[in-house]
Each structure stands twice: as C-alpha cells, then as structure tokens.
Copies of this chain bind each other. A is one copy, B any other.
Amino acid sequence: METVVIAGVGLIGGSFGLALRRAGFRGRIIGVSSPPTIQTATGRGAIDEGAPLAEAVAQADVVLLAQPISIIMRVIPEVAAHLKPGALVTDAGSTKQAIVEEAERHFTPGAFLGGHPMAGKAERGVAVAEASLFEGRPWILTPVRREDEESERARWLESWITAIGARLMVLDPAQHDRVVAAASHLPQLLSSVLAAFLDGAPESALARAAAGPGLHDMTRLALSDAGLWRDICATNQEEIRRLLREYAARLTGLAGRFGPEELDSLFHAANRFASQLRKSRT
C-alpha cells in the first residue's frame, strides 16, 4: 500500500485527496498544513492524518506539493533531504520552469516530476474542495527527461491522474510556461486590467448598472487572488510581458484600422478559435 503526502491541503490538495479516495485509493494520505486545516481536511476525509513536513515526507511513496509557488520553491530542499529512495515528488504549481529548475538542484534525477492540474474555482481552501474538481480538466506533467515520466512511480501517478478523471498532458517545462501564458496568464491579466480600467473610468458606476452578461464573463477572473498571481507573474515574467505587448499591439492596430473588412476578419478568426475551443472540451 502506498503512502501519499499532500503538502498544502487547500482547494487543490484537498480535492486531490478526496478524488483519490473516490477513485478507490486505499493507501494512507498524510496532510501537511496548519492544525485547523488538518482538522477540517481530516473531517472531510481528504486526508487520514496530519504530520510535520519532514516526518510526513520520510514516510511518503508519492508527495504532492500543492502550496503556492513561492512556498513550493522554499520547501524543495527540505523535501529532498527527507525523501526515501525510490519515492516521487510532484507539484501543482501554475508555472513550471522556476520550480523544475529549483527541483533539479536538489533532487536526484527521476525523484521529481513537475505537474500542473488546470483546475480551480473562485473560493479557496479545503472547505470547498471537491472530489470532482479535476474531472475533464487537463493535468499537465512536465518531465525534464523522458525517463522521468516512465519510472514505475511516475506511471503510478499518471494512472491515478487518469483515474480521478483528469486529462493527462505532457509538455516540457518551457513549453508549459509558454502555453499557459497564452491559455491562462494572458486571459487573467486582460480581465484584471479591464476591471481595473473600468474601476477608474468616469462612467464606472453607469457601466456597472448597464452591464450585461458579457461584462460578467469578462471580469470573473478579475476576482482572482492577488497573492497567487504575484507568484505566477514573478515566475513567468518574460513570456507574460511579451504576450501583453503583442496583444496591446493588436488592439492598437485594430483601433487604427477599424473598417468592416478588418472587423469581419477579426470576428472570423475569433469565432473559429472560440468554436474549436468548445469542441475540444467535449
């Protein structure tokens, strides 16, 4: 029987524990978090018990680091120091290059396999964790070497990712960061900048009063947590700044050429991407 350690039993970590249980995992699940979180998580059945990081890791066959990116970076040396030979560490951080580079400095080759479950919701914490959180959602693994995802432990992890309903994807860390910059970080910042822009606009109150469902969609991400995004932006800066500039240039170009032909070709390409996105989800 395997022992899984979940470090950071929040929405993602807690949901992973609940999802493992629902999918039939019968091993032990140890959580590493603050005492009140351990209590809630144990009560909800997301973990069996809590333990301090070093003690938990020493017993682990598989460790999921599900803390914020900056905490993951900080605990990597301690996790590496206490890990059993043959055990596997993965993580749930939203950017991968910085984390994987730090992991490469501390783990023996094959002991760390970066990951990123593309799931979440507006609320945070284990209280709102759900066994179904990962269903139909991508779970990206980012091996540095091909062997990293071919070990027995890696196969074990992959089979559970699939068992909990996630869609397994494999990308190299740099490619991951480029792809999520486009699929996630750019949309996040466009939403935040839109909401902040309207917050400061002279017609702000009237715009809120006149808003239809479109503005709601476009500002839902603007409710996201600043702390989480500070970490993401800090660890994927170059890619994000490049996309912000390219996107801004598109907008300026549109403002300059705003005729029916430009609009038709814009809507044509936009319709195509948005329709294909919805097809790929089914």
Contacts and interface: CB of A to CB of B under 8 A. Distances in A.
Interface residues on A, range: 35 or more
A146 interface: no
A263 B194 CA distance: 14
A251 interface: yes
A154 B226 CA distance: 47
A267 B196 CA distance: 7
Copy number of this protein in the oligomer?
2
A197 to B, nearest CB: 6
Contacts of A281: 211, 216
Interface in A144-181: 167, 169, 171, 175, 178-180
A141 interface: no
B197 A230 contact: no
A71 interface: no
Contacts of A189: 251, 254
Given A118-B212, A216-B281, 9 more contacts: A183-B203, A183-B210, A183-B212, A183-B215, A191-B217, A195-B273, A196-B269, A219-B274, A230-B263
